[in-house]
Structures are given as structure tokens and as C-alpha cells.
Amino acid sequence: MIRRQFQIRRAFSATALASAMFCDLIRSSTARGRVNVAGKTFSLEERPSATESRDGVLLAAARDSSHPRQVTDWSEVGPDEVVLVMSERATGA
Amino acid sequence: MQVSPKAVPYDIGVAKTNRGEPAHTSGLAIVVGNDALAQEVCRILAADGHDVTVIWGQDAPGLRRRIEECGGRFVDGDPRDPHVLFQAGAVPAGVLLALAEDDRINLEVALQAREANPGVRIVMRQYNRALARKLAENLTNCAVVSLAAHSAATYAAAAVDPECFLGIEFPTGSHELVGFSRRAPRELGVSGMRLIDAEHRLQCRILACDGDLRDRDRVLAPNDELTLFGRVERLSLAAMPLKKARRDVSWVATRIRLIASEFDPLLRVLVVAGAAVFVIATAYFGIALHLSPVTAAYFVTATMTTVGYGDIALADKGALSQIAGMLLMLAGLLIANLALAFVAAALIRAQWNALQGLRPIRQAGHIVVFGAGRVGTRVVDFLCELGATVAVVERTPAPELVARARLETSASLPGTARSMQRSSSATCGPPGARSSLPIATPPISKLLLAREHVAAISPSSCALPSRTSRR
């Protein structure tokens, strides 16, 4: 209603943006929220590249607080980098 | 940022813990809080198969009913009381989510729960960023998140790229923004290209095309829906560069209209009256004293400014000329003094504005942020890091924000408006704002202001992403 009344291009609720992340954080501190792509809900994780799990769609890598690089393959990621990974949720909310 | 043009088959795995174990989807979770966040988290956890108990003891009418509708159990009591935590099941609980709006309550509850059950995992909401960082470093098996910090990334990303639907700070603490956006190939100029070639050209990742996540060799049709991922600067380049100035004829006309509208009405009357008196007096004395137009104008100027050289005198020019001379002297005195008063006031105002960090914005393509609370401040941080020109409209800005606006030597934060009564070119910059971002709770007053601003200065192009309390 507010979008229509005020001709707003996009309306975001801080609660809606963060609530899923709070739920994902109960299983892992690396959770960074959820995103809907192609009708599916994916969990986003920021984790060290050195972790064993290499599941999910690799999105970006960065060293310390440097600019993130877009990467598509684990071979492009250094051992001391952090990566952003998108994994399909087994159970969606 | 380079994108490999080779086709990479996506391995879409199932979410796991950072140790590689499958995520558990059941167990007792205790939620502390009474606002929309607590209810939404309760709803999601219950849907995920958790047994959820929400604790809140302060006055919250209807909370029990709303929690039960979300699939949770409600315990009425002070969450800081160890007995209440025990009653709610803190000892067997696997997870405690402290989501109250008060940092101190969250911290007290977390410490009580940890004392009762050293193995409990704690997820805590904290507004104080420094405290949150310290807690996350020193409290084991604990995640501390700022709601403001997390959501600000999306607001900032949407202000830069209007089609962005999720922004994330990556890596955490870097102020670097990555985001997800939806666009059609025709908007990006990549119609007819293969998907991997379009990625290479855009330097953005194309995650899905028309709901298809896997076909990397697909040729893009003009109206396909692409889901893009990349750094927000790259996503925004697909729309328009951050500081692209649009100074066409309409821009100039709107600018002139806005400047004219900001003149004090009394000053406008004064200017018109002074000009009229000058012209009429010049014409009269030119005829009455047989002076050339230039000499008459010289005489009127000398009289009106009370200089009075005495080279042209009215002593023997008749009563009518002397009466006209006296009226001219009085009018000159009035107009000159009022003009001086306006100039002095303008100088004092300029000095005051400079002290308040209210500097004028002189370029288009800026972003206006309405509200500089916890979220707004973070949004401004992100936008400044991206190199955007930001104007902040806030009735009571934090001293740090004012100091920053005052001392900033670059164009990153040129204006901080304190007046919420109107958003004019003086406070929000010239026409051609890239977006207006109303961020406040409750947002209605900011929304009204932002709508007025958008309608006034850039009705066709200005994006208006907003914060709302409901989805």
C-alpha cells in the first residue's frame, strides 16, 4: 500500500531482510542471509576458503578487507581468502 | 574483476554448518523479544521444524496470540530472570536468540543462558557495533548481528542500483558492497549474446536467466529476466554511472525555478521597489533638472546611497523637486539599510550553515537520504565509500555526522539538512538526484518529504527505495 501511495520504486523491511539471517545463524556463524533466485531460496555464507565444504555456487572471493573478486571456480581462490557461497536450502521458509 | 568466459557447471549443494555437518532442522530454540523481528524469526524457525519458545514479560498486548499464530510457545516473564529461562527450557535448549531492541537485555539474557547451559548456541542482536564485535570475538559459540548494519547494505545498494533487491557487505567489515539485481538484456545491451559472453562484457555474474540456473550457453532474448550478482558499482553501471550529471535545458530551468523560490519574499519586494524608485526618480530628475540619463542616474544613486557630493543641488530647483529629493533620500535610506541587513543576515546564515555542515550541493547524480538514525548512518557510510555524493535530511543529526559534513573536504557528504519542513535545492541539492531514500521509523513523515522532493526536483528519473515496517 505504501509503495503505491508514495510511488516508491522499491520498499524494503529491515526485519524481513535480516530475520532469515538470524535463523540461519543458529547453525553457523558464517550465514549472511537468504536470496531468492529463479524461484528457489538460497542461503548465503561467508566462510574461509580453507574450510572443507566446497558445496554451493561460488560467488566472490576477497583477501582481508580488499575489493571482492568475482570467481566461478574454486581453483581461482587462494587459501587465505574468504568466499561468498550460495547454497540451496534443504528446507525453505 | 574478471569473469572467466568458460562455462562452469554450478554445484548447488545443500546448506551445511561451517564444519561440514548437515544443518540440523529441529530442536528447542528460545527467542527473547517482542517486536516484528522476534515474531518473524519465530515463524521461520517453526516452519523449519524447530520447537520455538518466545519469552517476554513486559507489556506487549496481543503478543501471546501472535506468537502462537506463528507456531511458537509463549512464556510470560522477565527473560533476565534465571527461573523464567529455566521454565522456558534454557537448559535443554540448543539455541537462544536474544532479539530484544535493548542491547543490555540481550547481553544479560545471553550471559544468564550461557551460565545455565554452557553448550547453548547464542545468536544476539546488538545495535552497538563496537560491543557486538567484542562479544563475537570473546563469547564462544555466539553470533552477534546488528539489524541496522545488515539492512543498511540493501538500502545503500538499492539507492545506487534501483533494480538491486539484496545488498551484502562482503567481506564483513570492509564497507565493500556486493548485490543481486534483476534486469532484462535489452536494458543492458546484451540481447542476442550468449550468457557467458554477456557476463564477460558486464563484468557481473548472471546467476539465472528466466528461471534457468544451469544453461550457460543460452542466447539471451531481449526480455528475458536476468538475475545478476556483482559489486554494486558494476551493477549500477548497467543503469547509470554514479556521478553522471544531467544538465540539459529542463535541468537549468528547474534549477532557476528552485533558486527563485528560495528568495525571501520581503527581499523580492525590496528589489522590485528599489528598482522602481530608481527608474522613476531618474526619469523625473532627468526631465525636471534637464540632465542627461547618465547624469540623472548618477544624481539619484548619490542621493539614495546618502553620499550627496553636492555637485548637483536642489536648493533653487523649486518646491516640487525638493519634495521629490526628500522622498528619494528617505526611500534610499530605507532600501539601503534593509539591503545591508539582508546581506549581513545572509553572511551570518552562511557561517551558521557551514558550522552545521550544511554545504550546498552543486552537482547532479547525488543521493538524498531522509533520516540518519542507526540504519541511515550506516547507509551514508556505504554510499560515501562508493564515492556517491550524499545529502542527509535529519531533524536532529548526531554530532559525529555534523562534524563529518562540516570537515569533509571531498564532495562525499556535502549537505546535512536539519530542517524537516521542506526539502529544497539548498538542502537536497539541485535537480537530477539519483535517488531519494526515506529511512526512518515511522517512515510516513519521511515518505511525504521524499515524495515532495522527488516531485519537485526530478520527477521522472529519481528512484525512491524505502524502508517499511511491513513487507
HEC secondary structure over B4-58: CCCCCCCCCCECECCCCCECCCCEEEEEECCCHHHHHHHHHHHHCCEEEEEECCC
Question: Given CA atoms B311, B314, B316, B317 in this order, what sign does their dihedral have?
Answer: positive
Q: What ipTM was assigned to the predicted interfaces of this complex? A: 0.90
Amino acid identity at B447? L
Q: What is the pLDDT of residue B442?
A: 54
Q: What is the pLDDT of residue B287?
A: 93
In whole angstroms, give the CA distance from residue B124 to residue B345: 51
pLDDT bracket for residue A12 (50, 70, 90): confident
Amino acid identity at B112? Q
Q: Residues B61-76: pLDDT tens digits?
A: 788 899 999 999 998 8
Q: Residues B168-227: pLDDT tens digits?
A: 999 888 888 999 999 898 888 888 999 988 888 888 899 999 888 878 888 999 999 999
User: How many Cβ atoms are within 10 Å of B284's Cβ, its own excluded?
Assistant: 16
Q: Determine whether the interchain pair B123/A22 forms a contact, defined as Cβ–Cβ distance below 8 Å.
A: yes
Nearest CA distance, A81 vs chain B (angstrom)? 10
**Across B150-155, average pLDDT:** 89
Residues 18-77 of A with CB under 8 A from B: 18-33, 35, 37-40, 43-47, 51-57, 59-60, 62, 64-70, 72-73, 76
Nearest CA distance, A78 vs chain B (angstrom)? 15
Instruction: Kindly state the DSSP code that residue B429 receives in the 8-state scheme.
Output: -
Nearest CA distance, A79 vs chain B (angstrom)? 15
Q: Residues B40-93: pLDDT tens digits?
A: 999 999 988 889 999 998 767 788 899 999 999 998 888 888 888 888 887 787
Q: Determine whether the interchain pair A14/B178 forms a contact, defined as Cβ–Cβ distance below 8 Å.
A: no
User: In chain B, what residues touch A20 (CB-CB under 8 Å)?
Assistant: 44
**Across B147-159, average pLDDT:** 87
Q: Where are the beta strands (DSSP E) in B351-430?
A: 367-370, 390-393, 415-417
Give alpha helix (H) positions in B220-248: 232-239
Look up the pTM and report it. 0.73
Residue of A nearest to B168 (CA): A32
Nearest CA distance, B275 vs chain A (angstrom)? 44
Q: Which residue of B466, B469, B470 to mutate against A (max A Cβ within 10 Å)?
A: B466
Q: Is B16 a residue whose pLDDT tops 70?
A: no
